[in-house]
Amino acid sequence: MYPREYFDTFWRNDIKEEVFVAMPFHDEFVAVWEKAIKPGIEENGKYHLKANRVDVTTLSGSILSSIFDGIAHSKIFLADISTTDTGKWAGQRNGNVMYEVGLAHALRHSSEVILLKSDSAPINFDIMSILIHNYDKNNLEQAKQEIGEKVIATINNVEITKTLNVEKAVASINPPAMTYLINYGKYVGFSLRKPANMGDELVAIKEYLAIQLLIEKKIIEYEPKSSNKNQAFYKWTFFGFAILQRLNLS
């Protein structure tokens, strides 16, 4: 299964109390996972989170689906992009991990992504401008503490940003647009009949302006697969669901 197929078919808007972790499955990283990353996430002292990683050493359709699901529905995404010191790919960044990093940046906001490394090798050009945190693999107790602090800080910032964005969007919704939230907030989306005559077109102008506002605010999006020549279907975005929850309309 490819990413586009997954997101079109299985996308959900529920966020799990998890941090999805991408990291190399190599003997060098066993201690990093067991003594730093996993406890750093799960023993952070503020949020009750589970560290979730998928074993990508055996790639299959179900494994890829688990990766897509984990990235899409975790609270935040964390990746260890460190190079290995031994083996066939010594000195290179893990291809599977970098693939997951690409998916995370395509799907999630950059503020929801944490990148870690323990090496001093040159950074790939594509991610050179992204903040990458260093940790000392020879001091995993300190790394554990630092990872926990980064997880807390990242989630705090994400929650503050989301709250501010939601409040700003709510204040900008006019009465015609609010009607759609009130009438269809309990559904995954809604459909509108396309105008068939002049009278319909006059009504459609008002609908169009309200719909355009909701689209511009990224509260809804047009769903072509569910639309036809007579009906246009719109579905709530993840941000739209957050607004519906804020207004107690979902």
Same domain membership, residue 202 and residue 121: no
pLDDT band (50, 70, 90) for residue 57: very low
For the chain, the 3-state helix, strand and coil shares in percent, each to the nearest 5, are 50, 15, 35
Same domain membership, residue 180 and residue 160: no
Mean local confidence (pLDDT), 11-23 = 84
What's the start-to-end Cα distance of the chain, in Å? 31
pLDDT of 125 reads: 79
Which domain CATH number covers 216?
A: 1.10.10
Mean local confidence (pLDDT), 30-59 = 89
pLDDT of 104 reads: 92
Computed on alpha carbons and rounded to an integer, the radius of gyration of the chain in Å comes to 22
Same domain membership, residue 107 and residue 36: yes
pLDDT of 205 reads: 80
What is the percent of the chain where pLDDT is above 70? 88
What sign results for the dihedral spanned by CA atoms 81, 85, 90, 91? positive
pLDDT band (50, 70, 90) for residue 198: low
pLDDT of 8 reads: 52
Rounded to a whole number, what is the largest CA-CA distance in the chain? 74
What is the percent of the chain where pLDDT is above 90? 55
Same domain membership, residue 127 and residue 79: yes
Q: Which residue has the higher pLDDT, 194 or 43?
A: 43
d(CA 47, CA 63): 27
Instruction: Decide if pLDDT at 161 tops 50.
Output: yes
The mean pLDDT value of the chain amounts to 87
Same domain membership, residue 149 and residue 97: yes
Mean local confidence (pLDDT), 71-78 = 94
Which domain CATH number covers 107?
A: 3.40.50.360
pLDDT of 250 reads: 75
Fill in the DSSP letter of residue 33.
I
Mean local confidence (pLDDT), 106-125 = 90
Instruction: Decide if pLDDT at 199 tops 80.
Output: no
Structure tokens at 63: 């494994």
* Boundaries of domain holding 122: 3-164
Q: Which residue has the higher pLDDT, 202 or 193?
A: 193
Please count the structural domains in the chain: 2
The predicted model scores a pTM of: 0.73
Q: Which strand (E) or helix (H) includes residue 221? A: strand 220-222
CB of 201 closer than 8 Å to CB of 195: yes
Domain boundary among 164, 199, 227: 164
